[in-house]
Structure 1
Amino acid sequence: MKMWRLLSGGWGFWVRMLALLWFLIVAGLVISRLSQRTCSKRLFPHRDDLESSAQEAGLVLDVLQLRYWLCYGSLWGQLHERRNPAWESDVELCVLREQATDDRQDSLVTQLEAAGFTAELDARRGLLDVYRSDGTPGLVQLIFFAPDSVNKMYRRDGWLHRSLGADCTAEPELHCFPARLVAAPLKRRAFGHYEMPVPWVGFELQKYLYPDSWYRDYAPSC
């Protein structure tokens, strides 16, 4: 009789215990999620300077009338928080290779140097690494895309990518995307204290650059 009273009177206790256990599990998941999004151990402390460098490099591209836009991780940052991701030490700007002929690339390097940058060309991967000449931390990476007029697409430039062939479906490393997503004129959106060009339809470009992960949370795991 005493055992029955203990069991029958203990249902409320067990319900409270199960509720507490459930709360602890949910709280643990929330704390884990927040710690991943904050990722304090990987924060880049010169984000303001980096965004300023990107804006000044963009002014050089504007003077030379080269079409460019935020892409890759920098576009994720603009879409999520209107600035470069806090953990990134570089800003990625994609540039149309059809406008950046060899002569104009030489002018681009000259103009960047006159603006206080050092530019290093990586012809293999089709990009230009741009650093502050005064040693300010951070990298602005200009990534060139070449046209594929047959398919009305753009694809990564550089002799490494040109050696892969022209089949965008078979070669995901080409990062092909429809030309309509970067048709002129591109709109400018907030990027830190500045405004930078972005592709059309927001994150649509990311579906082509990150076909297997564009729908996931863009924050890294710590």
Structure 2
Amino acid sequence: MSSTEVHYFDTMKLSVVSLRRKCRVLCHQRGFFFFVLLLGMVVTLKFLTDSEGPEVQEQNPCIISKEQRRYLYPLLSTVSNLLTQMSITHFLCYDSLWGAVQESGPLPWDAHGHLCALNEKVSAHDEADLLRAFRRQGLALEYSSAEGEYIIRNSSAVTEKWELPTVRIVLFEEDDRVHMLRRVGWRRRVLPPDCDAHPSLQCFPPKLVAAPLPLRPFGPLSLPAPREDMDLLKFHYPETWWRPLQPQC
């Protein structure tokens, strides 16, 4: 092979090596460019998500806004005070009792209040008197005879952002045949007094709500509660009482 050919091949080798180096440098530069571009997109997306946080939270049914809470507490306080004035035994129960045990207030996803009351104390008052007492406080009172519960809401509050809070008062009365408190309502009155065979009666022993009832913190309020919180929750949630209540949303 002539010296000219040798020189030519050496030149070609150098060109190939140089081209590989340039390609390698270019690939690194492009890779770094795409990395920076991707990082910028992630930062921008996080900024947009954070800036829209309150709106997203308002749309999330598992997150109750502070504004919504400000509607619940006065409503629950007024209802409890009215019941106390009328000597109606009432206490935290169901989800609100779980909230008192778990959060010392409402569950994070629960917009409503839940109380139970003794029907014999409610029945001592004329229905018209009950309606007038709540209306004087600007509250609407609705009774479901099938479920044996009152639903109470603020009659003047209006908003389109979310569902307005309500307070449900579930009525219980003692059945002398089984010496247990059972939920009222015509759907359950047709059932025989067998608490074990009919879980829908939601029976529990009267001693759990014997007067005087203790008070439990519930957010900024102090509300009557059963004597043994977990014992009542065992009757409310017989299949799941041993673990914290989970959101249904």
Q: TM-score, normalised by structure 1?
A: 0.78
Residue 78 of structure 1: aligned partner? 100
Measured against aligned partners, the alpha-carbon deviations of 1:89-142 in whole angstroms (never above 9, x if no partner) come to: 211110100111174443222211111100111011001110001125201011
Provide the residue aligned with 1:44 in structure 2: 64
Q: In the TM superposition, what whole-angstrom CA distance separates every residue of 1:52-103 from its partner, at most 9, and x where no partner exists?
A: 2111100000110000000000000001111111211211110100111174
Does the 8 Å CA contact 2:178/2:193 hold for their aligned counterparts? no
The residue number in structure 2 matching 1:206 is 233
What secondary structure, in the 3-state scheme, does the structure 2 residue paired with 1:84 have? coil
1:119: which partner in 2?
Answer: 141
The DSSP-based 3-state class of the residue aligned with 1:177 is: coil
CA distance in 1, matches of 2:147, 2:167: 15
The amino acid of 1:144's aligned partner reads L
SS in 2 for 1:98: helix
8 Å contact from structure 1 (residues 47, 86) kept in 2: no
Spell out the pairing of 1:154-169 with structure 2 (5 A cutoff): 154-169=181-196
RMSD: 1.5
- Aligned counterparts of 2:248 and 2:82: Cα–Cα separation in 1: 35
Q: Name the structure 2 match of 1:22.
A: none
| 2:156 is the alignment partner of 1:134 | yes
Bigger RCO (CA 8 Å, 6+ sep):
1
Of residues 185, 208, 230, the one that matches 1:181 is 208
Report the number of matched residues. Answer: 183
Contact 1:78 1:190 in 2 (8 A): yes
Give the match's secondary structure for 2:120.
coil
Deviations 1:6-32 (A, max 9, x none): xxxxxxxxxxxxxxxxxxxxxxxxxxx
TM-score if structure 2 supplies the norm length? 0.70
Report the Cα distance in structure 2 between the residues aligned to 1:181 and 1:75, rounded to whole angstroms. Answer: 13
2:90 is the counterpart of 1:68: yes
Q: For 1:113 and 1:77, how far apart are their aligned partners in 2? A: 28
**More deviation, 131-140/206-215:** 131-140
Cα distance in 2 for residues equivalent to 1:104 and 1:75: 28
For 2:39, the equivalent position in structure 1 comes to: none
1:171 aligns with 2:198: yes
SS for the counterpart of 2:226 is coil
Identity %: 32
Larger % of helix: which? 2
**Letter aligned with residue 212 of structure 1:** E
Moved more, 181-190 or 99-108: 99-108
Residue 221 of structure 1, CA deviation = 6.2
In structure 2, the CA distance between the partners of 1:95 and 1:105, relative to structure 1 (3 Å rule), is farther
Q: CA deviation at 1:146?
A: 1.3
CA shift, 1:163, in A, is: 1.6
Q: How far apart are the structure 2 equivalents of 1:51 and 1:134?
A: 16
Q: Aligned pair 1:87/2:113, yes or no?
A: no
**Contact conserved, 2:102 with 2:244, CA < 8 A, in 1?**
no
1:126–1:156 contact (8 Å) kept in structure 2: yes
2:239 is aligned with 1:217: no
Aligned residue for 2:229, secondary structure, equals coil
Measure the CA separation in 2 of the matches of 1:221 and 1:120: 25
For 1:141-191, what per-residue CA distance to the aligned partner results, in whole angstroms no more than 9, with x for missing partners? 111011112322101111111122211111000100000000000011111
CA distance in structure 1 between the partners assigned to 2:126 and 2:84 by the alignment: 13
